Each structure stands twice: as C-alpha cells, then as structure tokens.
Amino acid sequence: MKRAAVTGLGCITGAGENLSSMMKSIYAGRRYPCAPTRFETDLKASHPLFEVKKEFPLADEGEDSRTNAFILTALEEALSHAQIDWHKLDRKRIGIVIGTTVGCAFNNDSFYGDYRKGTFPDISSVERYLAGNSALYIAKKFGIRGPAITIANACSSGTDAIGIAKGWIESGRCDLVVAGGADEICRHLYLGFYSLLNTSAEPCRPFDRKRKGLNLGEGAGIMILEECGAAKARGAKAHALVAAYACRSDAYHPTAPHPEGKGLANAVKAVFKASGLRPEEVNFINAHGTSTVENDRIEGTVISRFFPEGIPVVSTKAYTGHTLGGAGGVEAVMTVRGLMDGLLPATAGFEEPDESCGIVPTTKLTEVKGRAAFSNSLAFGGHNAVLAFVRGE
C-alpha cells in the first residue's frame, strides 16, 4: 500500500518568517498582535490582528500577490527541508494543491472606489484577480506539469488540500505533492469580519471563559508529501505520515456550527476508522480553537466526548491569528513539528476554564511523547475536516 510521507515543512505567519523562528517564539510564549499597518479604516477602535511584517515586491504584473508570495516563501523553506533538487524529479508526477479563501480576490478596493466615482481605473487589480489561482501560479513558476488545484473551502481549505494530496499519493497519481494553505489580510476582509461581530478588541483567548472572538492572521503553511518508497529511494527522511483525513458537513447553517458538533464528531470518527488509531495512541490535538464562543464550546465538547480521560489540546491561533484558508496548512505544519519536537506551546491568552467547553488547553510548554496527533478545522458553511499524523519512521 502506498503511503504519504511528510518530508518537508515550511511556514510564514505573524509569529515568524520561517518555521524555526516561529516555533522558537511560540515555545517561549511570545505573540505579536497589532493594529492594522497595511491599510486604514474609519473604525473608532482597531481590533488586533497578526500581520506578517515582511514586505514582498510584486514583480510579475497581473499574477503576483501577497498570498502567492507567502506560498513561495513557505515552499522554498519546505523544499530546503526536504532536500529536494527539482532537476532530478519527473515534473509530470508532481502535484500541487493549495487552499485559500482570500487570495488576492479582495484586494481591489481602490479599483471599485474609483469605478464608483465614475473614473476609469487601472485594471491591473482585476487582472490579478483573474490570475489568482495559486496552484497554477506555483506550477508555472516551477514548471510542474502534474495536477494543480486551488481549494476554496473556507477555513478548512488548507486541511482539505493536504487531504487531497494524500489521496493523490496513495492512488499513485503523484510521487510528490506540494500541499497546504495560504491567505492574506486586507481591508475588505478585516471590515467584513468586524461587521460579523466575531472579532475581539483584545488578543484572543481560545477556550477561555472570557473569550470574546477571534483575531485575524495571515501567512502560509506548506508541506512536501512524497510516496514513502520514492522518498526512501532518494534518501529522504519521513518526518511524519499522513495517517488519515476525513471531512464531514454539518448541513446546518452558513456560519454557525451545529449545536451538537455532529459534522466534527463524524469526521473524527471517520479518522479513527481510517487510521486504525485508538484514542490512547493520540498524543495531542491542534484544535481549530478560534476563540469564538460557539466554536470553542462545540469543538471542546466533541473532543471531550472522544477523549473522556483527557488529552493535551492547543490552539496555535493564539499566536498566528486565524489565517482563514491558510489555517489548515499552517496548523498541520505546526502539528507535525510538535510531533517531531515532542513539545506543545502554552495556549496564549488562556486563563480561566470554561466548563461548557469540556476541556482545558495547554497552559505551559508541555512535553508530549506519543506517536500520533490530530489537526482540526471547522469552517463556515458547516464543513469539518480532520487530519491524523503519525510520527515518521
């Protein structure tokens, strides 16, 4: 049976411009919420977010975007980690699947503003929108001729991308797949979430009794997945295996999760069945943990149902913010890194347990020694996706 091995990891978020610096900061409990610096609003008070401070010149007119720059940065790190030489690979056997929801599609405020004023604005932003397929952008950049798909499935997009990549490896369609998620913050997005009343005026506090909402973030998390035999043949190290992936729908509401977490519970059940793992073999869970009232309550309740004896749970969104379509990719990368390091950070901002959640997340740097971990994603539209990773062999 073909299996999908994780041979390379790369990441960029508001917590750090590469995976190593990011994990060093997170393990130390440092986080960097800030007011928006890349755009202005008319709001009386800004809600904090987690920006990537690095600036990226957009060189390829009509194709470059900040989201694609995040992907390239994380991909270059992942390729280096996997010790890959593109020139020695069959590019027809390489796939790309990227999850995003914002991409460059919402960065057109100036165009629409000028258009409504009756002027004839430059259409480069529209061209960029039309060219905003991140997977095809990467394929063109690297001359990759295998399958390329961009997934837009709300906040589970990055998780779904990795799940699809797993299927491509196991079916024999690809020997190697670039997979993950990325998104950027823009004014349109920021004001949209503000108007939904689900962002917090203070740094987020996942699973805390006094949580008031999420903070937005941006960045990318990219994995290199390879078929185990192919990876071994070139001397690559399997840092983890993608043991299972499942997605299930609530079929309930456009934005609110099902009150009983039925979709998430069904996804977790499917992951257990597909992976053959037992609850006692699962080392920790990287929760979706947005710090919104209902998401945390429902996710915590479902976790406690499957792990009545308790399990270490962390929400890394406390450090990265909610990176939307990028979240599943970012958190999957951090989940594998947690397995590699045997460490979980404290869940920043958490102080007071909420009995309705049924769980208490990590409150300090925690050593973990098991062989498996889950990464959860709960998305608008009632979509729930779960990945199971096991320690590499």
Q: Which residues lie below 8 Å from residue 348, measured CB to CB, with a gap of 6+? A: 29, 31, 203, 205, 318, 319
Q: Helix, strand or coil for residue 8? A: strand
In this structure, what are the phi and psi dihedrals at residue 155, rounded to the nearest 5 degrees?
-75, -5
Note every long-range contact of 164-170, with CB atoms under 8 Å and residues 24 or more positions apart, other chains counting: 164/97, 165/4, 165/95, 165/97, 165/223, 165/225, 165/242, 166/4, 166/225, 166/242, 166/245, 167/245, 168/95, 168/97, 169/2, 169/3, 169/4, 169/225, 169/226, 169/227, 170/1, 170/2, 170/3, 170/4
**What is the spatial distance between Cα 25 and Cα 31, in angstroms, rounded to a whole number?**
7
Contact in structure between 10 and 221 (CB atoms under 8 Å): yes
pLDDT at 109 over 80: no
pLDDT at 10 over 60: yes
Choose the weakest-confidence range: 85-94, 169-178, 229-238.
85-94
Is pTM beyond 0.85? Reply is yes
Contact in structure between 264 and 384 (CB atoms under 8 Å): yes
Mean pLDDT for the stretch of residues 53-75: 84
Mean pLDDT for the stretch of residues 242-265: 94
Rg value, the chain, Cα: 20
Mean pLDDT of the residues in the chain? 93
Query: What is residue 179's DSSP assignment?
Result: E
In this structure, what are the phi and psi dihedrals at residue 95, rounded to the nearest 5 degrees?
-115, 160
In this structure, what are the phi and psi dihedrals at residue 44, rounded to the nearest 5 degrees?
-70, -35
- Confidence band, pLDDT 50/70/90 cuts, at residue 103: low
**What is the spatial distance between Cα 8 and Cα 20, in angstroms, rounded to a whole number?**
13
The CATH H-level superfamily of 4-391 is: Thiolase/Chalcone synthase (3.40.47.10)
Q: Checking DSSP bridges between strand 4-13 and strand 219-227, what pairing results, if any?
A: antiparallel
* pLDDT digits 0-9 by tens, 263-301: 999 999 999 999 999 999 999 999 999 999 999 999 999
Positions marked catalytic: 155, 288, 322
What percent of the chain shows pLDDT beyond 90? Answer: 78
Contact in structure between 254 and 367 (CB atoms under 8 Å): no
Mean pLDDT for the stretch of residues 343-357: 97
Choose the weakest-confidence range: 35-44, 246-255, 293-302, 322-331.
35-44
* pLDDT digits 0-9 by tens, 32-50: 999 999 888 888 888 999 9
Which of the two residues, 119 and 368, has the higher pLDDT score? 368
**What is the spatial distance between Cα 358 and Cα 340, in angstroms, rounded to a whole number?**
28
Q: Where are the domains of the chain?
A: 4-391
